[in-house]
Structure 1
Amino acid sequence: MTKFAYNNSVNSLTNQTPFYACYGFHPRFSVGQQLDKSVPHADERVDQLKLRMEELQASVSLANKKIKHYYNLKHCMPDDIKVGDKVWLDTCNIKTERPTAKIVAKKIGPYKVLKKEGTPAFKLKLPHTLRVHPVFHTSLVSLKKEDPCN
């Protein structure tokens, strides 16, 4: 009974039930019902299943593109930051001597990028008073935009 309920529930990714995706028709729960004995022609059935498979592949492909897009937002190297640029540093992992976290600046800097460390990190020129390791992940730095008036 549980398996029937699962196979007859709509999947959010494919917008179809698992049973319908595999077999091309919805399962029947036939307690005391008269079943239809007619069987569709084999060629029609094959065409239906091919069409269903193409729809499912398109749905999965679209979902994979969305997953890839959102993964790349967090994990890809920003192309606009280069050695020598000035960047702002996010203070989420830096302890300060402020009494509360409410009054700490969200970003500090700007600091100069000394070199690219591996794929997802930059080494920054920090003041000695900061007392932290100077290599930071790309998600913690953002490029300082130049003021067009200057």
Structure 2
Amino acid sequence: MTLTPETAPTVHVDVVLNMPLEDGGVLPIRQGIGAIRTQTEGLVVFPRLLGPFEIDDEAWYVTHIGTGRRMPVTFDDEQHATAFANAAGPLAAWWQQRPELSKETRLRLVELAQAHGGRPDQHILDALARRAAKAAEKGGAA
């Protein structure tokens, strides 16, 4: 079998790596990585980057190739991250450079990630809590 860009097991993706600064802030830089393809065209998985030359293979991310942005969820291993990426395929046109994601689709992605063992980032959990509080407030006012 001839290896082509479409059949290679990895694909080059420029991802954002937040380098910690002495003042407590971070400096976002782009880092080229060889991410692992999934069945969903446009989504790849890779372990957490701790620095330009170091990874944490106990934390895995799903990233959109076109934007280089990771989904705000962490998985314990490659298998769970891959299973989520494969299940997320029908929810958006991931092959596009910038797929459109409605609020409902974003919420469904978080639920789907949790069903596949993913842990949403804290800012996502905070947003879901605010949404639930607003919904409860509207329900109580009726």
TM-score (norm 2): 0.27
TM-score (norm 1): 0.26
Higher Rg = 1
